[in-house]
Structure 1
């Protein structure tokens, strides 16, 4: 055949892949567990660090009347009970909750400095570690710091262990942010002693017993509700000469009204003859309520600061990655479904008109395929193709595969024996032995339909086409594992190849069913043993040689999928490892002068990286986020997303089955596929990546064959 119009292959250096001969270590599983544990810890830390609700928005439970302590808003432990301490007459302590806030706290500090007024700031621990410099500015300005728990949790509604954790972390936040510890505490959602219910009183008692001075308020401005500047001033102004603890906020929301009301509030107290003080000075603590943090708590606080920041970056990065891949996956689904009808029309035009029937050589590499080789060869001989040569290459089988072929004595079938050298070497031998220039390749466990070869070679009438991918079908789909693989082949591999065909960047002509132009194979350098994915390798090489690769969904081949989890793992491990080898080998394709090479580099390889390498790497984090959401009160949101995703996948798979004229009955197993099968596949990819990074050399794993491929009538 004349091939003068075929694009010439550009000259390029041949890649050589070398491996260190060692088995992949188990260290990557330890690393995976460690990474997931770190992510889980980061999620937990971010959860308790970001649970800062707007002050005053806690929903109160049923109030139980109790005898509240009298005497003042500062509560201290007193012989198993509580005693209240008041500020002296005409003494006022301005207190600010929920900070430090990078927007509002500096403005409040400016006002206090201008008015020469000291204040006490009750800071949220998680904010303290986020704004350590601002916290130090508060201390440097002569103000006092108190604790407002770690995450603004309502101490009266959380378990005792959580309350203790809130107080301990809050102290570490102050130690790490400002290098101090404090004995002052204001429980979130508190106001005056008279407003305490039974649960709140119990929480206050526990804190006082732990050595805290629990600071409530005489005047609650309720500025958190933004009632207006005049209302804030009125609620916080003195009504007599008694000492006053005034409750304001410098964080937790929009504090513009507080900023506007503060000068007027200060003026009213001055006009009434009040002296401004801090809490500790007002109640007569000569040594103050704060002191430098000890070395170990200070170090722990600094470590906590780093951990909170690192966890925030990690969770944010993973969240954006999950969102990005979610959008990409949705776009991919839209593209594969939306463009599938177009591919049906394009594919139909390729086989329309007068049949193109050049002589064909079928290459069947076989290693220990005695179970299924007879069915494979007989299906080829039963083909409706007029001029056909079948070459079976026995690659050093030890189970009598070659003997089975010889005993058949079928016309047009040749057996070539060679020492075991691998599938790629067997195909190189078969290419040399082939009498014709159109080559069809299939595995020794695959069964062709009578018209498969005829349909498979039709696109090769176009001299620009170098290879054709057939439609590989799972022939043993009776078990659950077989059904899952069947759905994956139909809705994953087949739909993907339709899209890649239209984009001009099919990256794999499957070994189970492919047709090749001999000159295209030779231009690509022949079948290479440099990778474990020789089918992907040769397909990429043909694209880089300037040929097109197309998909013909009517050319169906029925193959035996792994029937055990162990065999499935070994098969996908080899596929994944080989795919990464091919990506690395052809990483410079984008620089090629051919359009096929550029499309491979710009579209094909990035597509493989995103959806065959990076997405499986991110999958454990996605599952961990979902599990964490289920366990932390976001079950409805998580389940909603899962149901939407499941319905979308169900619709996509049903559509793919209809395109392939397949029954919809296996769809019942699809939800179960998400529970087990998907996790198995991404664990395989993770192990493959770890092995590739470690430079481990993988042996060629021979899968067990049962010969139970069923070809529907």
Structure 2
């Protein structure tokens, strides 16, 4: 970013700080009390040395023909052609930036016997510049000449200067500073005023001397249309020669030694370096222009695609997946030091309006997470302790211990809505579905950081999931709320620990195995988001790096057919483009925006930025409407562009370079804040009230169900609560059970057609 910023700064300075106003448009001179009389009434070649400056005039009948503001690739060659045909040598005062762009013209000027002087680097008005800026202008111009033609020159024509009588105090001070750097200032005695393009005849009249006094004649070979200048020269040169005038360079006209000398090797190489830097800047700017155009077009296309997909997805979800799925589910909660929110998470799961068993796998917690869950004495909750082995190992432990074929995986910092499990399981009515992504929402959305993450979850993640669902290439089922077929997980070997994004890796493996992964937005769960920039950085760094690992691991899908090919060419292609490559351009976009505000049209740049924000706002409003969210948080969307977006793309930059360097990261756990709360209100109307069951009875039920060989038989849509379902004697002093042979329950009938006996 620093290198790019410096390159663009130099590019903007050399190209866009160029003042192309004609020299004749200078403001009227100011006070001239400090200008010596020898300068004010002397010759046009001024040596502003010390307290006793001296000047020089051209010899009689001698015209020093001078050209300013070039070289120009169109007009300078035409001027040189006229000079060569008339055997005339002139002096060209070149602008450094143009000399660097067209070094071949500078070399031709010198090769044909003409003389060069400098006209500053960017055609800046030296009298208005501070000393350091003037020194920079002269030094860079000299280096450009040294690099382009291998020479240096001590001749300087200050832009916007004219005759000696126009030198004021500010101009005199700048001439003195220039002399300290070794420059002679060259003014004019006759102005053709060709910069006004008054017509060929008028230019000839203005350039014709009155009398025989020597003149330094000002003309221009750049700065606009110079066709009148070229035409006037064709007539003027022969006429003046016929009248007895001869033409010479500035130094020859005043009888001084040639000021143009070979450049030292140091100046020559520095000049070449400057020219290559400027050319590289041109190339970078051209590439950036195309990249910005491509990025803008892709962003618009993505916005259109996700909005169209979201609308189609919303309509498709109005149709049922099939017969209602009422089979019980096993909920696996991997937990490592989750004491801050585990109780709320577990209680919310038990409040589900769908039959569940909850398995909390404590992965070596040191904060008493397992003890806390056990102390709650909640029915239907099992705690499994294991040594710390990581989240994938905890999930695999839960999968092995699960009693049912339908599994729900939940993070320990997540609270489910009462109908979330039921909604999450409905897509499994389609036998092709192997996993379901739920709708994770930010619960701690207070403050700017919380609002920004809330917007990202609703607008970014959820809109993308709708698109992935329609394209059948879902790359990630979030760890916070996801449903899975146990058979599908076992077929791919369970959860892998090869990447830091185990949820993405698992989802991609399911897609490649032929399973369909869908998005059910009605399955809502609330999760804690990072509450500080540092915590957010760690979380997204792990996510991004893990996603890159998973993409690399499953890169073979690009060449496969069927569901795996859809994942590879659609899903991985989308992730590569919009979550890796385009974010890498984020710093470039910001630097280029600053470049535009400083050197280009700021109104246009601000307009483009507002258009970008407007597109995001439209997407946000529609996404919030689909998710039934209040759009009030969107007021912070413009502010998101100044902090949050930079953080996100810098995470991508760091992740990409970490991956390229071959560095492996360790899993980084997010800090918990205890903001999760279990809702205490009445259950929703659709909920089936479940009375509190003593832990002993729940354990007996789980033991019976787990021990039964038919406990997990759901192939025909028929579920069994164990081969021998117990009769529960709810004696408050000593509850106990007795085995009872029961008939299977037909879950395919659905709750609306079940009998009283089934509900009992």
Q: TM-score range by the shorter chain?
A: 0.7 to 0.9
User: In the aligned structure 1, how far is the partner of 2:347 from the partner of 2:379?
Assistant: 10
Report if aligned partners of 2:329, 2:404 keep a CA contact under 8 Å in 1: yes
Residues 210-225 of structure 1 aligned to structure 2 (within 5 Å): 210-225=181-196
Q: Which has the larger radius of gyration?
A: 2
**Does residue 1:623 correspond to 2:590, yes or no?**
yes
For 1:322-341, what per-residue CA distance to the aligned partner results, in whole angstroms no more than 9, with x for missing partners?
44323333333333334422
Distance 1:114 1:487, change over 3 A: same
Q: Which residue of 2 aligns with 1:491?
A: 459
Q: Which residue of 1 aligns with 2:157?
A: 186
Q: For structure 1, which runs of at least 5 residues remain unmatched after alignment?
A: 1-35
Q: Which residue of 1 aligns with 2:655?
A: 688
Note the C-alpha offset of 1:209: 5.3
Report if aligned partners of 2:348, 2:678 keep a CA contact under 8 Å in 1: no
Residues 664-679 of structure 1 aligned to structure 2 (within 5 Å): 664-679=631-646
**Does residue 1:598 correspond to 2:565, yes or no?**
yes
Note the C-alpha offset of 1:233: 3.2
User: In the aligned structure 1, how far is the partner of 2:66 from the partner of 2:636?
Assistant: 61
Distance 1:126 1:441, change over 3 A: same
Distance 1:477 1:210, change over 3 A: closer
Report if aligned partners of 2:106, 2:148 keep a CA contact under 8 Å in 1: yes
Report if aligned partners of 2:48, 2:179 keep a CA contact under 8 Å in 1: yes
User: In the aligned structure 1, how far is the partner of 2:572 from the partner of 2:253?
Assistant: 70
**Does residue 1:383 correspond to 2:322, yes or no?**
no
**Does residue 1:167 correspond to 2:167, yes or no?**
no
SS in 1 for 2:555: coil
User: In the aligned structure 2, how far is the partner of 1:224 from the partner of 1:255?
Assistant: 8
Residues 81-100 of structure 1 aligned to structure 2 (within 5 Å): 83-100=54-71
SS in 2 for 1:156: helix
Note the C-alpha offset of 1:78: 6.3
Distance 1:224 1:599, change over 3 A: farther
SS in 2 for 1:348: coil
Report if aligned partners of 1:476, 1:560 keep a CA contact under 8 Å in 2: yes
**Does residue 1:535 correspond to 2:500, yes or no?**
no
Distance 1:391 1:209, change over 3 A: closer
Distance 1:229 1:669, change over 3 A: same
Match among 434, 438, 441 for residue 402 of structure 2: 434
Note the C-alpha offset of 1:575: 0.7
Report if aligned partners of 2:26, 2:160 keep a CA contact under 8 Å in 1: no
Residues 234-249 of structure 1 aligned to structure 2 (within 5 Å): 234-249=205-220
User: In the aligned structure 1, how far is the partner of 2:129 from the partner of 2:468?
Assistant: 55
For 1:498-538, what per-residue CA distance to the aligned partner results, in whole angstroms no more than 9, with x for missing partners?
23333333221111111223444345453211100011112
Q: Which residue of 1 aligns with 2:203?
A: 232
User: In the aligned structure 2, how far is the partner of 1:496 from the partner of 1:706?
Assistant: 28
Distance 1:127 1:415, change over 3 A: same
User: In the aligned structure 1, how far is the partner of 2:24 from the partner of 2:129?
Assistant: 12
In the superposition, the TM-score normalised over structure 1's length comes to 0.87
Comparing 333-342 with 93-102, greater Cα deviation is found at 333-342
Match among 255, 264, 273 for residue 303 of structure 1: 273
SS in 2 for 1:515: strand
**Does residue 1:106 correspond to 2:74, yes or no?**
no
Residues 198-347 of structure 1 aligned to structure 2 (within 5 Å): 198-208=169-179, 210-285=181-256, 287-347=257-317
Note the C-alpha offset of 1:121: 1.3
Q: Which residue of 2 aligns with 1:446?
A: 414
**Does residue 1:364 correspond to 2:333, yes or no?**
yes
User: In the aligned structure 2, how far is the partner of 1:409 from the partner of 1:165?
Assistant: 78
Note the C-alpha offset of 1:197: 4.9
Q: Which residue of 2 aligns with 1:612?
A: 579
User: In the aligned structure 2, how far is the partner of 1:630 from the partner of 1:574?
Assistant: 35
Distance 1:415 1:42, change over 3 A: same
User: In the aligned structure 1, how far is the partner of 2:556 from the partner of 2:202?
Assistant: 70
Report if aligned partners of 1:466, 1:542 keep a CA contact under 8 Å in 2: yes
Match among 79, 89, 92 for residue 118 of structure 1: 89
Q: Which residue of 2 aligns with 1:49?
A: 14
SS in 2 for 1:699: coil
Distance 1:270 1:614, change over 3 A: same
Note the C-alpha offset of 1:195: 4.3
Distance 1:58 1:696, change over 3 A: farther
Distance 1:687 1:209, change over 3 A: closer
User: In the aligned structure 2, how far is the partner of 1:449 from the partner of 1:57?
Assistant: 75
**Does residue 1:586 correspond to 2:554, yes or no?**
yes
For 1:476-513, what per-residue CA distance to the aligned partner results, in whole angstroms no more than 9, with x for missing partners?
22344322222221122112222333333322111111
Comparing 72-81 with 456-465, greater Cα deviation is found at 72-81
**Does residue 1:424 correspond to 2:399, yes or no?**
no
Distance 1:216 1:681, change over 3 A: same
User: In the aligned structure 1, how far is the partner of 2:420 from the partner of 2:535?
Assistant: 28
User: In the aligned structure 1, how far is the partner of 2:81 from the partner of 2:670?
Assistant: 75
Note the C-alpha offset of 1:651: 4.2
Report if aligned partners of 2:344, 2:677 keep a CA contact under 8 Å in 1: no
Aligned positions, number? 674
For 1:536-585, what per-residue CA distance to the aligned partner results, in whole angstroms no more than 9, with x for missing partners?
11222222233332222111011112233332222112111101111221
SS in 1 for 2:48: strand
Report if aligned partners of 1:508, 1:536 keep a CA contact under 8 Å in 2: yes
User: In the aligned structure 1, how far is the partner of 2:518 from the partner of 2:267?
Assistant: 66
User: In the aligned structure 1, how far is the partner of 2:382 from the partner of 2:581?
Assistant: 44
Q: For structure 2, which runs of at least 5 residues remain unmatched after alignment?
A: 682-760
Report if aligned partners of 1:46, 1:312 keep a CA contact under 8 Å in 2: yes
SS in 2 for 1:444: coil
Distance 1:654 1:93, change over 3 A: same
Distance 1:602 1:242, change over 3 A: farther
Distance 1:401 1:136, change over 3 A: same
Report if aligned partners of 2:500, 2:546 keep a CA contact under 8 Å in 1: yes
User: In the aligned structure 2, how far is the partner of 1:260 from the partner of 1:585?
Assistant: 70
Q: Which residue of 1 aligns with 2:2?
A: 37
User: In the aligned structure 1, how far is the partner of 2:169 from the partner of 2:620?
Assistant: 58
Comparing 73-82 with 171-180, greater Cα deviation is found at 73-82
User: In the aligned structure 2, how far is the partner of 1:473 from the partner of 1:318?
Assistant: 37
User: In the aligned structure 2, how far is the partner of 1:118 from the partner of 1:354?
Assistant: 96
For 1:576-599, what per-residue CA distance to the aligned partner results, in whole angstroms no more than 9, with x for missing partners?
1101111221223221112x3333
SS in 2 for 1:695: coil
Comparing 534-543 with 498-507, greater Cα deviation is found at 498-507
SS in 1 for 2:143: helix
Q: Which residue of 2 aligns with 1:14?
A: none
SS in 2 for 1:392: strand
Distance 1:555 1:56, change over 3 A: same
For 1:365-393, what per-residue CA distance to the aligned partner results, in whole angstroms no more than 9, with x for missing partners?
222223322222222222112x4343332
Report if aligned partners of 2:24, 2:193 keep a CA contact under 8 Å in 1: no
Q: Which residue of 1 aligns with 2:371?
A: 403
User: In the aligned structure 2, how far is the partner of 1:637 from the partner of 1:87?
Assistant: 50
